[in-house]
Amino acid sequence: MSCPEVTAEAVRVLKLISSKTDLNLDLASHDFGGAGIDNHGVPLPDSTLDACKSADAVLLGAVGGPKWGVGPVRPEQGLLKLRKELGLYANIRPANFASESLLAHSPLKPEIAKGTDIIVVRELIGGIYTATYSIPEIERITRVAAQCALAVDPPLAVHSVDKANVLATSRLWRKTVTALMEKEYPQLALDHHLVDSAAMLMVANPRKLNGVLVTENLFGDILSDESSVIPGSLGLLPSASLAGAPDANAIVMGLYEPYVSMLILHSRNKRLTANCPLFPSSIHGSAPDIAGKGFANPIGTILSAAMMLRYSLGKADAAELIERAVEKVLDGADKGGFDFRTRDLGGQRNTSEVGDKVLEVL
Amino acid sequence: MSCPEVTAEAVRVLKLISSKTDLNLDLASHDFGGAGIDNHGVPLPDSTLDACKSADAVLLGAVGGPKWGVGPVRPEQGLLKLRKELGLYANIRPANFASESLLAHSPLKPEIAKGTDIIVVRELIGGIYTATYSIPEIERITRVAAQCALAVDPPLAVHSVDKANVLATSRLWRKTVTALMEKEYPQLALDHHLVDSAAMLMVANPRKLNGVLVTENLFGDILSDESSVIPGSLGLLPSASLAGAPDANAIVMGLYEPYVSMLILHSRNKRLTANCPLFPSSIHGSAPDIAGKGFANPIGTILSAAMMLRYSLGKADAAELIERAVEKVLDGADKGGFDFRTRDLGGQRNTSEVGDKVLEVL
Ligand SMILES: CC(C)[C@H](C(=O)O)[C@@H](O)C(=O)O
Ligand SMILES: CC(C)[C@H](C(=O)O)[C@@H](O)C(=O)O
């Protein structure tokens, strides 16, 4: 947990929840990414890997920063290795409006953005990143997508994204997804999009992709990042990386992190950071690295902790409590009440003030 | 030329231009894509390939349609083969607002979209599509990007996009681009973006990518499609695929086509077409294939013809005349005058009415 302040807020939330329920939390903090390099010379020290392996779940702070960006040992190598070692093949990244108040912050027109509700399910340890896919690898990620679609009533549609008109591996992907869905989930609606079309549609008419969007590693990397800016404010969205399909009756090992860590990772590209604040209304030429400054928004991490309760700790009720509390806090901005915007989002709040508010509502 | 009506309008424009200048046009029409399959059994008949090889330039209508989508012989195979056979390694896709009146049609908020002016330069015959890159392949596409940047005064910034934190081929890309730019174009500004960051930024703050965005084949496929929806109306943007770097003093072989052909190609995915009109305000459950119905917008093709005059026929002045005429036509919508929107864009116009207007202004 190397982005101390946002993680600290999520931990406060988890502690409050455990004090009110039968949840017994045993929390430990370990060096990873940039902190791993500084203190152990590698982004994923053995002691951290061992601790993760024996844990029920991992909550990740930001893992990088411009400081470590250029060397041969890079923080993201730790992330790639951790995913592989823990078998975290299923990355779940929802992009939706936790509150309508966020419409004001979307780069899209409200009538285009409104109601966007896409769960990106990205295969996380194979694909173009390494080489290609085997049929079982495609089948298991398809099952994850199907389980996500079935988690709500009525079930969601499943959109599979590939580049089957050009790539052989995409043709295998499409064939395998289609066959498995017909055999095991005939009740679910399934369609196929080409990745370039999907990238267009995500901007032009994102509601058309509402439901579960399942895709391979590289396409998922691009499309989930693209989808994450629709709800307007980076740092407010959670993500989960799972070692199995989510299931109401089972518990899976998972790693949980907010989207904002991606931003910090990428800021290792100096020019990007220095010249390209992601949102015109934010950062305003301030220091590129927002971690450690006390003004990063903790909501993405708090929502990631909620996902952790749901998928890895069997506490769906507690997860919902947190999600509803966050929704109320975000709604406040709309109704002239509490403004959740931290300084990284162009607002005035500190990290802990937002955490305080979530705790208060809880 | 298998989307007869939009191509017909571009041909009318070209004929008018040649009647007024010393340009001598020798035009011939050949079957390709769907028409190739119907009439010759293959998407790129030998006769068409031979004609293209001996031509100075190729103007492409739409190449596909749902009719040919599912068979083993697919229209896009013809496109991939044609690119390869003609050595068209440089795809140039500008995404900008030909007129401020288009801001009303953008899915992005006006304050986000306004002033977006990105020229995507996509490597078109190598990369993840086939295998990987050689250094000379990366160098020549970098030169194309640099020439595009130098074509205006002051020159544009060059943004190179890769996934160097994960892919070895991207690390070669970044190294090669950096070295070549330092050696041959030290006067140009260069920065690097990761593809996932670029996909975000394109939506969140596209002006930050203003200039020339150079990238490999697959990333370019995705990012250029994403960029093409920012100016709001598909079918209004041109593209060029070149066999060399554009140069004021030289002429290069090129293939020119509007973006809308992509849309028609992708419509072979039946569900996508039936259920997913790209723009909420357009198509409205009408027939999925817009080609051949007389209501596709010809502006993308007319602007493609202008690019052809500039890059392949050495007539930059004539190209500018056309571009200014189109701008005036598009401006009309703003000023309560002529509305350029054809039925595919949610308007009332037919293809030929828009062509008439461009000719009138010319
Ligand atoms: C840091 C990088 C390796 C990582 C990825 O590409 O998977 C990141 O971009 C992400 O999306 O989690
Ligand atoms: C049809 C297809 C092969 C093509 C591509 O992927 O290059 C298209 O999507 C494009 O962008 O020109």
Nearest residue in B to A210, CA atom: B276
Give the orientation angle of helix B4-20 with respect to helix B351-361, to 10 degrees.
Answer: 10
Q: Nearest CA of chain B to the CA of A203: how many Å?
A: 7
What residues form DSSP beta bridges with A212?
A119, A158
> What stretch of H or E contains A5?
helix A4-20
Distance B124 CA to ligand 2 centre (A): 9
Query: Does any CB of chain A come closer than 8 Å to the CB of residue B222?
Result: yes
pLDDT of A107 strictly over 80 = yes
Distance B225 CA to ligand 2 centre (A): 10
Q: Taking the model in full, what pTM does it have?
A: 0.92
Residue A193 in domain: no
With cut-offs at 50, 70 and 90, classify the pLDDT of residue A247.
confident
Query: Does any CB of chain B come closer than 8 Å to the CB of residue A50?
Result: no
Question: Which pLDDT score, from 0 to 100, does residue B285 have?
Answer: 25
Sheet holding A254-258, edge to edge: A57-59, A254-258, A238-242, A90-96, A117-123, A211-215, A158-162, A190-194
How many other CB atoms sit within 10 Å of the CB of residue A238? 25
Spatial CA neighbour of A141 closest among A158, A154, A128:
A158
Q: What is the CATH number of the domain that holds A333?
A: 3.40.718.10
**Two tokens at A168?**
């052989």
Name the average pLDDT for chain B: 85
Higher per-residue pLDDT: B149 or A263: B149
The single-letter code of the amino acid at B268 is R
Spatial CA neighbour of A98 closest among A320, A277, A261:
A320
Higher per-residue pLDDT: A299 or B266: A299
Question: Which pLDDT score, from 0 to 100, does residue B272 have?
Answer: 30
Q: Nearest CA of chain B to the CA of A250: how many Å?
A: 32
Mean pLDDT of A220-236: 90
With cut-offs at 50, 70 and 90, classify the pLDDT of residue B263.
very low
Higher per-residue pLDDT: A41 or A66: A41
How many other CB atoms sit within 10 Å of the CB of residue B202? 30
Task: Judge whether B212 and B149 are in contact, CB under 8 Å.
Answer: yes
pLDDT of B166 strictly over 70 = yes
Mean pLDDT of A322-339: 86
Mean pLDDT of B318-341: 87
Question: Which pLDDT score, from 0 to 100, does residue B91 have?
Answer: 97
Give percent of chain B above pLDDT 90: 63
**Two tokens at B325?**
């005429």
Mean pLDDT of A278-304: 59
- Collect all residues with Cβ–Cβ distance below 8 Å to B178 and sequence separation of at least 6: B160, B190, B192
Is the beta carbon of A196 within 6 A of some atom in ligand 2?
Answer: yes
Question: Which pLDDT score, from 0 to 100, does residue A67 have?
Answer: 63
Is the beta carbon of A166 within 6 A of some atom in ligand 2?
Answer: yes
- Taking the C-alpha atoms of residue B310 and residue B304, their distance in angstroms, rounded to an integer, is 10
Query: Does any CB of chain B come closer than 8 Å to the CB of residue A204?
Result: yes
With cut-offs at 50, 70 and 90, classify the pLDDT of residue A272.
very low
C-alpha to C-alpha distances, B240 to A51, B185, B259, B307, nearest whole angstrom: 54, 23, 10, 7
Q: Nearest CA of chain B to the CA of A14: how many Å?
A: 31
Please give the torsion angle defined by the CA atoms of residues A225, A230, A236 and A237, in that order, rounded to the nearest 10 degrees: -50
Is the beta carbon of A123 within 6 A of some atom in ligand 1?
Answer: no
Mean pLDDT of B240-247: 93
**Two tokens at B127?**
């990369």
- Taking the C-alpha atoms of residue B244 and residue A17, their distance in angstroms, rounded to an integer, is 63
Spatial CA neighbour of B213 closest among B232, B235, B197:
B197
**Active-site annotation holds for B163:** yes
Of B74, B205, B222, the CB nearest to A222: B222
pLDDT of B262 strictly over 90 = no
Mean pLDDT of A172-195: 96
Q: Do B163 and A218 touch (CB under 8 A)?
A: yes
Task: Judge whether B219 and B233 are in contact, CB under 8 Å.
Answer: no
Chain A residues within 8 A of B132 when measuring between CB atoms: none
- Taking the C-alpha atoms of residue A99 and residue A338, their distance in angstroms, rounded to an integer, is 13
- Taking the C-alpha atoms of residue B223 and residue B199, their distance in angstroms, rounded to an integer, is 7
User: pLDDT digits over A1-27, tens only?
Assistant: 345 788 899 999 999 999 988 888 898
Q: Nearest CA of chain B to the CA of A193: how many Å?
A: 7
- Taking the C-alpha atoms of residue B10 and residue A255, their distance in angstroms, rounded to an integer, is 55
**Active-site annotation holds for A225:** yes
Is the beta carbon of A317 within 6 A of some atom in ligand 2?
Answer: no
Q: Among all ligands shown, which has an atom nearest to the Cα of B170?
A: 1
Q: Which residues between 86 and 125 in chain B have a beta carbon less than 8 angstroms from any beta carbon of chain A?
A: 106-109, 111-112
Q: Among all ligands shown, which has an atom nearest to the Cα of B216?
A: 2
Question: Which pLDDT score, from 0 to 100, does residue B155 have?
Answer: 98
Mean pLDDT of B258-278: 40
What residues form DSSP beta bridges with A257?
A239
> What stretch of H or E contains A162?
strand A158-162
Is the beta carbon of B249 within 6 A of some atom in ligand 1?
Answer: no
Query: Does any CB of chain B come closer than 8 Å to the CB of residue A226?
Result: yes
Is the beta carbon of A197 within 6 A of some atom in ligand 2?
Answer: no
Backbone angles phi, psi at A75, to 5 degrees: -50, -40
What's the DSSP call for residue A105? G
Task: Judge whether B105 and A112 are in contact, CB under 8 Å.
Answer: no
* Residues of the domain holding A48: 1-95+255-362
Nearest residue in B to A125, CA atom: B166
Question: Which pLDDT score, from 0 to 100, does residue B23 have?
Answer: 86
With cut-offs at 50, 70 and 90, classify the pLDDT of residue A69.
low
- Taking the C-alpha atoms of residue A275 and residue A253, their distance in angstroms, rounded to an integer, is 38
Distance A221 CA to ligand 1 centre (A): 7
Higher per-residue pLDDT: A334 or B284: A334
Distance A216 CA to ligand 1 centre (A): 13
**Closest ligand 2 atom, residue B63 Cα:** 1
Give percent of chain A above pLDDT 70: 86
- Taking the C-alpha atoms of residue A25 and residue A18, their distance in angstroms, rounded to an integer, is 7
How many other CB atoms sit within 10 Å of the CB of residue B343? 20
Per the document, the length of chain A is 362
Task: Judge whether B277 and B285 are in contact, CB under 8 Å.
Answer: yes
| DSSP per-residue string spanning B176-226 | HHHHHHHHH-TTS-EEEEEHHHHHHHHHH-GGGG-EEEEE-HHHHHHHHHH
Higher per-residue pLDDT: B37 or B139: B139
With cut-offs at 50, 70 and 90, classify the pLDDT of residue B265.
very low
Task: Judge whether B257 and B140 are in contact, CB under 8 Å.
Answer: no
Distance B54 CA to ligand 2 centre (A): 24
Distance B132 CA to ligand 2 centre (A): 18
- Chain A interface, mutation test: which of B171, B225, B234, B236, most A Cβ atoms within 10 Å? B225
**Two tokens at B356?**
């008439």
- Taking the C-alpha atoms of residue B205 and residue B212, their distance in angstroms, rounded to an integer, is 16
User: Of B120, B129, B221, B241, which is best to mutate to test ligand 2, by the most ligand atoms within 8 angstroms of its C-beta?
Assistant: B221
Mean pLDDT of A164-185: 95
Chain A residues within 8 A of B222 when measuring between CB atoms: 195-196, 199, 219, 222
Q: Do B275 and A202 touch (CB under 8 A)?
A: no
Mean pLDDT of A144-155: 96
**Active-site annotation holds for A129:** yes
Question: Which pLDDT score, from 0 to 100, does residue A281 have?
Answer: 28
What's the DSSP call for residue B153? S
Q: How many separate domains does chain B show?
A: 1
pLDDT of B69 strictly over 80 = no
CA angle B240, B244, B245 (to 5 degrees): 85
Q: Do B228 and A200 touch (CB under 8 A)?
A: yes
With cut-offs at 50, 70 and 90, classify the pLDDT of residue A340.
confident
Of A109, A199, A201, the CB nearest to B276: A201
User: Of B262, B267, B272, which is best to mutate to test ligand 2, by the most ligand atoms within 8 angstroms of its C-beta?
Assistant: B262
What residues form DSSP beta bridges with A215?
A122, A161
Give the orientation angle of helix A195-204 with respect to helix B195-204, to 10 degrees.
Answer: 30
Task: State the pairing for strand pair A190-194/A158-162.
Answer: parallel
Question: Which pLDDT score, from 0 to 100, does residue B83 have?
Answer: 96
Higher per-residue pLDDT: B269 or B291: B291
Question: Which pLDDT score, from 0 to 100, does residue B1 have?
Answer: 36
Task: Judge whether B43 and B73 are in contact, CB under 8 Å.
Answer: yes
**Active-site annotation holds for A163:** yes
pLDDT of A262 strictly over 50 = no
Q: Among all ligands shown, which has an atom nearest to the Cα of A227?
A: 1
The owner of tokens 């009439």 is B39
Is cis: bond before A154, omega within 30 of 0? yes
With cut-offs at 50, 70 and 90, classify the pLDDT of residue A258.
confident
Q: Do A225 and B197 touch (CB under 8 A)?
A: yes
Of B165, B200, B279, the CB nearest to A76: B165
pLDDT of A322 strictly over 80 = yes
Task: Judge whether A227 and A202 are in contact, CB under 8 Å.
Answer: yes
Kindly provide the residue ranges of all beta strands, DSSP E only, lying in A16-75, ordered along the sequence. 57-59
What residues form DSSP beta bridges with B346?
none
CA angle B305, B309, B313 (to 5 degrees): 135
The owner of tokens 């066999």 is B243
Q: Greatest CA span in chain A, whole angstroms?
A: 54
Name the active-site residue from B81, B84, B129, B356.
Answer: B129
Q: Among all ligands shown, which has an atom nearest to the Cα of A120?
A: 1
**Closest ligand 1 atom, residue A221 Cα:** 11
CA-nearest residue, atom 3 of ligand 2: B76
- Taking the C-alpha atoms of residue B107 and residue B280, their distance in angstroms, rounded to an integer, is 10
Distance A196 CA to ligand 1 centre (A): 20
What's the DSSP call for residue A157? P
Q: Nearest CA of chain A to the CA of B203: how many Å?
A: 7
What's the DSSP call for residue B86? T
- Taking the C-alpha atoms of residue A7 and residue A33, their distance in angstroms, rounded to an integer, is 15
Kindly provide the residue ranges of all beta strands, DSSP E only, lying in chain B, ordered along the sequence. 57-59, 90-96, 117-123, 158-162, 190-194, 211-215, 238-242, 254-258
Ranked by mean pLDDT, which of A121-135, A170-184, A324-338 comes out on top? A170-184
What residues form DSSP beta bridges with A119?
A94, A212
| DSSP per-residue string spanning A126-152 | SGGGTS---HHHHHHHHHHHHHHHHTS
Task: Judge whether A160 and A174 are in contact, CB under 8 Å.
Answer: yes
Name the average pLDDT for chain A: 85
User: Of A162, A163, A166, A200, which is best to mutate to test ligand 2, by the most ligand atoms within 8 angstroms of its C-beta?
Assistant: A166
- Taking the C-alpha atoms of residue B270 and residue B274, their distance in angstroms, rounded to an integer, is 6
Residue A341 in domain: yes
- Collect all residues with Cβ–Cβ distance below 8 Å to A12 and sequence separation of at least 6: A355, A359
Question: Which pLDDT score, from 0 to 100, does residue B278 have?
Answer: 36
Spatial CA neighbour of A108 closest among A236, A223, A219, A206:
A206
Please give the torsion angle defined by the CA atoms of residues A191, A148, A91 and B263, in that order, rounded to the nearest 10 degrees: 20
pLDDT of B219 strictly over 90 = yes
Give percent of chain A above pLDDT 90: 62
Nearest residue in A to B75, CA atom: A165
C-alpha to C-alpha distances, B345 to A23, A302, B324, nearest whole angstrom: 55, 42, 21
Q: Nearest CA of chain B to the CA of A72: how many Å?
A: 11
With cut-offs at 50, 70 and 90, classify the pLDDT of residue B255.
very high
